């Protein structure tokens, strides 16, 4: 198992464009999380999946953000009509039910110009 994989590692996009990030969790992990981290801050919770069901979304996740986890495997996070304030590191993590520690991926750094 290679851990949690995120793709791409870096993304530069123009304001107003749509972007999509992918996360492949550890294969046996049924929980998947998305966090956002801005410079000088700790990660902030965005959303959480248990298998394919999205069970919780933060108020940070505006209607321009959507996340999916089809078939309970990989997940995608899409941002529509990007804004400069969306520039951040987007982190994916996974875990097993009952295991409160996460395994994080290396993140996708988004820069909106």
Partner 1 sequence: AQSVTQPDIHITVSEGASLELRCNYSYGATPYLFWYVQSPGQGLQLLLKYFSGDTLVQGIKGFEAEFKRSQSSFNLRKPSVHWSDAAEYFCAVGVTGGFKTIFGAGTRLFVKA
Contact residues for partner 1, defined by CB under 8 A: 4, 6, 31, 33, 40-45, 48, 50, 55-56, 91, 93, 95, 97-107, 109
DSSP 103: E
105 or 110, CB closer to partner 1? 105
**E strand map for the chain:** 5-7, 10-13, 19-24, 31-37, 44-50, 53-57, 65-68, 75-79, 88-95, 103-104, 108-112
79 or 105, CB closer to partner 1? 105
Contacts of 18 (CB under 8 A, 6+ apart): 78, 79, 80, 81, 82
Work out how close the CB of 102 gets to partner 1 at its nearest, in angstroms, rounded to a whole number: 7
Work out how close the CB of 21 gets to partner 1 at its nearest, in angstroms, rounded to a whole number: 13
18 or 41, CB closer to partner 1? 41
Work out how close the CB of 81 gets to partner 1 at its nearest, in angstroms, rounded to a whole number: 27
CB 89 within 8 A of CB 107: yes
**What are the residues facing 81 on neighbouring strands?**
none
Work out how close the CB of 111 gets to partner 1 at its nearest, in angstroms, rounded to a whole number: 13
37 or 80, CB closer to partner 1? 37
């Amino acid at each position: 198992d290679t851990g949690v994989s995120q793709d791409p590692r870096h993304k530069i996009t123009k304001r107003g464009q749509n972007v999509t990030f992918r996360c492949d969790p550890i294969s046996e992990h049924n929980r998947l999380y998305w966090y956002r981290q801005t410079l000088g801050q700790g990660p902030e919770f965005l959303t959480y999946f248990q298998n394919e069901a999205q069970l919780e979304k933060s108020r940070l996740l505006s209607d321009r953000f959507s996340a999916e986890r089809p078939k309970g495997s990989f997940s995608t996070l899409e941002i529509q009509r990007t804004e400069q304030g969306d520039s951040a590191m987007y982190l994916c993590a996974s875990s097993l039910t009952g295991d409160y520690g996460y395994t994080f991926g290396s993140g996708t750094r988004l820069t909106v110009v």
